[in-house]
């Protein structure tokens, strides 16, 4: 075992000890907030210890599954909730269900799209900033990282920073416009899709994968539909003016080092960090590296406040 591997193992063990010996939130609150006239579900777990206050964070889920399976997975005997780990580190944690996901219904069109999603996030952040009297940190996973970036490009004044995890897009790739049908297909989600991101052997228990599959299909039995995906071509590192943390898992097949390097080098704000999670894949936030992931977010906020 190399020295670097030993260090990473030690970090994971230390984070496990710290997070599992802190009181984690047990109460999940639900808020309905209107954006562009549409009801959006926002989930909340709060930090009540003012001594460890790290501020407000809003979590954005990925392409297929909604906030609760991704960020608040519950399984007796295992601590898998990202929301609760962030609470233990001092954050006031919120998570948004996008249109057509989890507790948020589709709108009359049946479709979501990048501009609509980014506008929804901006409206939720405005509401959250007013409610908490402080600017939120925005965290996006996978497709959620793309939505987060588009939102901060359009409304940088609303947030104190952004965290992109599992960032799946190549900044030099042009997305071709595709003519979508008038009616969304509303395909069934599958257990195979729910389990597909867990590819690193031994990084998560089989029981946890089964719990994720069950929770995901219960929350999102029908796949949400997106159109006008060519709107993602607006994404540009040069247009990101806010502090940014880029988190990449070592074995994530969607988050490529080469494209990350091109993206990171073009960010104009000097307040930027790029963290690689050893041994993780696209679902590392639920696997062994989850402790390093949440600690990286906490360290990023501490760094910004210095």
Q: What is the pLDDT of residue 20?
A: 46
Residues 115, 79 contacting (CB under 8 angstroms): no
Say how far residue 166 (Cα) sits from the centre of its chain.
8
CB atoms within 10 A of CB 196: 12
**Residues 170-186: pLDDT tens digits?**
988 999 999 999 999 99
Instruction: Calculate mean pLDDT across residues 21-37.
Output: 80
- Whether residue 11 has pLDDT greater than 50: no
Q: What is the pLDDT of residue 259?
A: 96
Nearest to 212 by CA among 82, 28, 105: 82
Distances (CA, A) of 183 to 64, 101, 108, 179, 180: 19, 17, 11, 12, 8
Task: Please report how many Cα atoms fall inside a 13 Å half-sphere around the Cα of residue 168, on the Cβ side.
Answer: 19
Instruction: Calculate mean pLDDT across residues 59-66.
Output: 98
Give one word for 122, left, alpha or beta, with left for phi > 0 and alpha for psi -120 to 50. Answer: alpha
Q: How confident is the model at residue 225 (pLDDT cuts 50, 70, 90)?
A: very high
Q: How confident is the model at residue 50 (pLDDT cuts 50, 70, 90)?
A: low
Distance, CA of 49 to CA of 35 (rounded, Å):
31
Q: How confident is the model at residue 305 (pLDDT cuts 50, 70, 90)?
A: confident
Residue-averaged pLDDT of the chain? 91
> Domains, the chain, ranges and CATH?
3-305 (3.40.50.1820)
**Residues 83-92: pLDDT tens digits?**
999 999 999 9
Q: What is the pLDDT of residue 36?
A: 94
């Amino acid at each position: 075992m190399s020295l670097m591997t030993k260090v990473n193992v030690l970090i994971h063990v230390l984070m496990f000890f710290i997070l599992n010996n802190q009181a984690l939130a047990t109460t999940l609150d639900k808020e309905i907030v209107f954006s562009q006239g549409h009801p959006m579900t926002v989930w909340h777990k709060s930090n009540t210890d003012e001594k460890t206050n790290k501020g407000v964070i809003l979590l954005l889920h990925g392409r297929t599954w909604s906030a609760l399976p991704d960020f608040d997975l519950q399984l007796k005997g295992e601590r898998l909730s990202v929301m609760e780990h962030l609470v233990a580190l001092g954050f006031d944690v919120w998570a948004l269900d996008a249109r057509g996901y989890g507790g948020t219904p589709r709108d009359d069109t049946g479709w979501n799209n990048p501009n609509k999603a980014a506008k929804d996030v901006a409206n939720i952040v405005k509401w959250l900033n007013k409610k908490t009297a402080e600017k939120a940190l925005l965290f996006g996973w996978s497709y959620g990282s793309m939505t987060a970036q588009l939102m901060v490009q359009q409304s940088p004044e609303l947030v104190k920073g952004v965290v992109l995890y599992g960032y799946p897009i190549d900044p030099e790739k042009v997305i071709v416009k595709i003519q979508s049908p008038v009616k969304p297909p509303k395909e069934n989600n599958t257990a195979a899709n729910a389990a597909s991101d867990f590819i690193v052997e031994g990084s998560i228990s089989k029981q946890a994968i089964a719990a994720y599959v069950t929770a995901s299909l219960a929350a999102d039995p029908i796949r949400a539909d997106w159109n006008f995906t060519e709107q993602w071509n607006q994404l540009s590192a040069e247009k990101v003016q806010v502090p940014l943390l880029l988190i990449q898992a070592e074995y994530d097949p969607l988050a490529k080092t080469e494209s990350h390097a091109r993206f990171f080098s073009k960010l104009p704000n000097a307040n930027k960090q790029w963290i690689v999670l050893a041994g993780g894949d696209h679902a590392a936030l639920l696997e062994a590296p989850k402790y390093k992931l949440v600690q990286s977010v906490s360290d990023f906020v501490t760094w910004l406040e210095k």
